[in-house]
Each structure stands twice: as structure tokens, then as C-alpha cells.
Structure 1
Amino acid sequence: MTNGTINTDPRLFNGCEVGGYRNRDGWLPACDWPADSQIQFGQDLSGKFSFFEVFMEHPDPRFHRGEGPTVADAEQNAWARLERWRACDHEWVRRDGGAAGSTDTCGRCTKCRGVQTSMYPPMTTCRVCGVATSDHTDRNDAYLCAVHGHWSVLPRELWREHHWRQQMRDLGRRRISDMQGLEEEVWAAQSIFCEPPADIPRELDLVMARYRSRS
């Protein structure tokens, strides 16, 4: 049972469950997609075509998509492309060509043109330890690894809004005595959408500042 609907195919998610808001008619995939995959489908925002998307595990493509006039057509398109993928003796190259500063980690096959995720390290490095990463950025857009980008390690003057919200979530899972005197702020952040304090810039402000600096 999912949101009051009966899901007869556990691979369907994100409103595509039978009876879900994207699948009122109870449509089911016809092809033999992996049992551990996740499937979603629908109509493009333009209303001009339908799409069918599958999230799978290696060695299949992690993300796979087909398009067509109907969802059934989109699935058949995706399945034909997956069969070409599986029959190919792949030769991989970086999709981005190895451009300096790229965060693209995907590979593209020079034979079937298939794309696979997480094949290459990003061409960006942590400003603290130098490891290849694109996990986090500080408010100056410097890249940081998962360790040095965590709010508990990063100096507060370099926090972005998501660092503050992560701190609120983490503190909310601890005892009141561990909240560092932030009990009311943690409660507000978890109860309603709460604006961060004045010293933490809003994400939109950072994006606009970056845009103005490049124009």
C-alpha cells in the first residue's frame, strides 16, 4: 500500500504506483526490467511526448531513459536502447572530455553512445586536502570533500544555507543538553520552514552574486 494505493509492481515509484497520481489507469511496464530497479514515467512538461526512466545498478546504466508518443512507446524505446547497451563491447571516454574544472563524472561509450555515471573522478579538488571531489562547496564556491565540507568542520563564516540546515537536523537528533543553546532555533527549523540567521547567506543571494560577477 502506497499513499492509499495498491502497488502491484514494487519497482514503480514517485507517483507511478498503480493508482498513483501519475498512473491512475494502472499501467504496468511490459519489458523485463531488473527486479531491483526503480521506474518512473509520465508526460514531458511541454506535453509533446512521454518519457520512461529506469534507475538500475552496474553493469547496467545507472540512469536510463526512453521517449515516445505514449508511455508504452517510451518504454519500448528505452528497452531497445538497453539491449544495444548490453550487446556492446564498450569503449569508455570521459563525457566532458576532461575539461578543467568539470564536475561531470560520467563516461560515454564511443561505440553505442551510452552514458554511465560515476566512472571518473571530477576535475575539481578539495581546497583543504586536494582530493578529487565535487561533494560540497563553501559560500565562496570553493570545492570541499565530504569531510571538510561538513558543518562541524567548516568555519561558520564559510557556511552556505544547507550547512546551517544540516546542523539543525543533526542537533535535532541529539539530547537537549547537546544543542549548544540552540533549542529554540532547532525547534523552529524543524517545525516550519525557517529562514537561517542573518550571518548565513541565502542560496539565491549567492547565485545572484555569482551571476553579477560574471556579467
Structure 2
Amino acid sequence: MNVLLLEDDLALGDALCRALHQADIRVVWVRRLQEARAFLQEKTQDALLLDLSLPDGDGLNLLRELRSHCSMPVIILSARDTLENRLEGLRCGADDYLVKPFAIAELLARLQVVTRRSSGFLSSQWQIGDLVINTENRSASLAGVDVALSPSEFSLLFELVRKGGKVLSREYLITHLCCDSDNALEVHVSNLRKKLGKDWVRTIRGVGYLLPKP
């Protein structure tokens, strides 16, 4: 999962980056609205963690801009704690609103909820045919039998399941999985095929990989 963090507080931003990395979430951290706008013009993310009181403006302005053309999940992280503040954030299009200070565990749980909802899954247990993955404990089973996966293999499977039926380019997977190279990605794909069966991960020649819908 790739997340953009827009937070100007150095201590909080650093703590959030470390916690998200420990949860196998790739984070890009910026501290200005201008930086966030420039980044999002070039790249897509799976979610945005959005502070509101920023040195160069109000985060709600960025949220309004995004909602004119983008459905990316957004969680507001703000010290603005009144009911009207929270309602305004939700009316502007936020998927969730966390008041500072908050528990990291709660943020991670809410991030899982908004991203799986945007992918069309309503619980932490995702199923495609006989394949079941659990996003909370990062486990997988096939036809009721547990499948032992490394963290990198699970992350690859997660992306393929989350985008089930869509071809994911090599470039997309390398970026989202923090792979060092194309060769590393091929190793992970090969290992998944050995553990799940070769038909579960298909190669689309010249493009990337696909986990077909049953």
C-alpha cells in the first residue's frame, strides 16, 4: 500500500512514517500543500493522510480539489476537535477524521477500513474463489489450507487481490512493493506460483501480472 502523508509537524510526521513502515506501508511524507499537489499530479496513491493547518494554507482546500476528480481515500488528521470541524471535513469529502492526539493502532485500523472499502471489500477477510487472505494478520489460505508467505509475497498477493481482474504493470508493483529490481519482483511472482499454483498469477506479456477473477 502506498500512502501520502501531508503533515508539517516534524515529530509527528517522523513517528507516523516509522509506524507505517513497520506495518509494511510505503509512505511519502510532505509538509506543504504545494508539495502534495505537485506529487499527486505525477503519481497516484492508495490513500492520503491529511493535516489541515499547514504553513501554506488549509488542507480542506486540497481535499475539495481532489474530490472534483479523485476518489482516493482520505483520512484527516487534525487538532481541530469540535463537532462542526469534523462534520465540515466529512462534508468536504473525507472518508474519516481523527482528532489529534490519536493512537497509532487506531489510525492503522481506520486506514485498513477505508482502503479495503475503496477496493470493494467490506471486511478484513478477502476472498476470490478458494483463495482467502486476511489483511489484519497478513495470512492466506487456499481451499482451506494455510499458505505460508513471506512479507514480500503477501504484499504482492495483496496488491493482486485488491486489484483482482486488472493487469498490474511491473513498474506499479515494483513501486508498491519496494522491490529493488525487476528480478526481485520475478522471484516473488515465482514463489507465489509455487505456493498457490501457476494459474493464480498470470503474466500478460509486455505489461505485467494479473490475478484472474474466478
Q: Could you state the TM-score of these two structures normalised by the residue count of structure 1?
A: 0.30
From the two aligned structures, give the one with the greater helix fraction: 2
Q: Pick 1 or 2: higher relative contact order, CA cutoff 8 A, min separation 6.
A: 2
From the two aligned structures, give the one with the greater strand fraction: 2
Q: Could you state the TM-score of these two structures normalised by the residue count of structure 2?
A: 0.30
Larger Rg, first or second structure (1 or 2): 1
